[in-house]
Structure 1
């Protein structure tokens, strides 16, 4: 089915029941993640060394212990954020993905942009300023390996996976043969962030 036909035949994304349930739970847990991060800003003048100079001018008269580079609730909140953000993307696509273009942008384009932005952050900000640690949160397995070790080989792997996703996005814009497989491959290699792209690629293949 072409993109134009998909646009006219579907007005809203519908997920299989297990994925729909996971999306509902994930979006609620994402709200918990945001709350934990906010609490860190309210209690610690420097909630994380990952973002030097970022904090509130006044905080509550209590201070959280630091785990690794960050306040405890910030670290837990960001790890939870990375694992639940993909379900927020799925929820957004279900609500606003009323055209094939919007669906592609949310389920594939957004995870690709997010991953490439994290690569640039790690490459040009995190690694030059912060000692790598396995405690640091990450959106994908290769991102974690890169930011936890600083090894340029993992950096290249992270960039390669991100560019694979960008190539998949370009291929789907052109409705190229095999674009669904490219999207699914990116989704698999970028888990957990890649859950939306994996679903989108699978759905495209099945069509």
Structure 2
């Protein structure tokens, strides 16, 4: 599969930008076929299978890979597609690029590409068929790009996934290259601000 073993995704992306329809011959796996036609980087990817059916568990699973830089691949049932894309929009961000691949190599094959927010709106009308979702990995961000609000958000994401605050702070510090004290101070400041609330002007 050239798009997986070679940088063929650049050719696919260029074809999509020019309005050229891209399809694939039947292969051994819907994962590889979806990756090949997605137009997203596929030199490194993770297969995540089906997400949990319950909304809370689904969001928790997505939070576990919110900062994963490799392309993500999911299978999903058509009647849950709109809820899944909405959850991805919430956790990954509205602008994260993705491709929804439907009925690959079959008569009614369709590949929808775009930001997660747009794909969620499209799926709200109902979709049929076998579904494979390909989502681009998280963008690389350096420590200098992360403000206190983002540090607090990352800690909260890990806490909601079941980590203790101390562990979450240590993990965020490790992944950002920042001192643990800086992450801790951001969390404490946010907690204090939430307690006191906004100060009214005179």
TM-score bin, normalised by smaller chain = under 0.3
TM-score (norm 1): 0.27
More helix, by proportion: 1
TM-score (norm 2): 0.27
